[in-house]
Amino acid sequence: MDNAPNPGINYYRIKQIDLDGKFSYSRVATVNFKANFGIRITPNPATDFFMISMNANLNPGTVRIFDPGGRLVFKKEMVINTSVKIPLSDLRTGWYLLEIQRDGEKHTQKFLKQ
């Protein structure tokens, strides 16, 4: 897993190692990652709330949170300034995916609710 891909085109391949020590490589796959505008979630892990911090203000957009099963558990239309507080008191403990969508672009980040 690439936890910190570089913005732009990234190249990946898989190295498979057999039990006898022989190995082979898969074909190269390319993935284009867009810059995430410096989205940060603090604190992470979080308990009652987290703050979304950005390097720049964004136009009005949609903030969504999905549970591990992919179900939408939070949705709000908002202008995302340099910092926004998101309540988490209604969420169970576990991993979630934050999605920020605006102007046809999606930016995602995982977080842990304790």
| CATH value at residue 88 | 2.60.40.3080
Residue 51, token pair as written in the block? 């703050």
- Is residue 30 domain-resident? no
The Cα–Cα gap between 21 and 24 comes to 10
State the total domains in the chain: 1
Instruction: Give tens-digit pLDDT for 12-59.
Output: 999 999 999 999 999 999 988 766 556 778 899 999 999 887 765 556
At 26, give phi and psi (nearest 5°). -75, 175
Q: Would you state the pLDDT for residue 29?
A: 93
DSSP state of 46: B
Instruction: Give tens-digit pLDDT for 71-109.
Output: 999 998 877 666 788 899 999 999 999 998 877 778 888
- Is residue 10 domain-resident? no
Spatial neighbors of 112 by CB under 8 A, at least 6 apart, are: 44, 45, 46, 94, 95, 96
Contact 92, 68 (CB under 8 A): no
- Is residue 1 domain-resident? no
- Is residue 82 domain-resident? yes
- Is residue 13 domain-resident? no
Residue 107: domain span: 36-113
DSSP state of 91: S
At 80, give phi and psi (nearest 5°). -100, 105
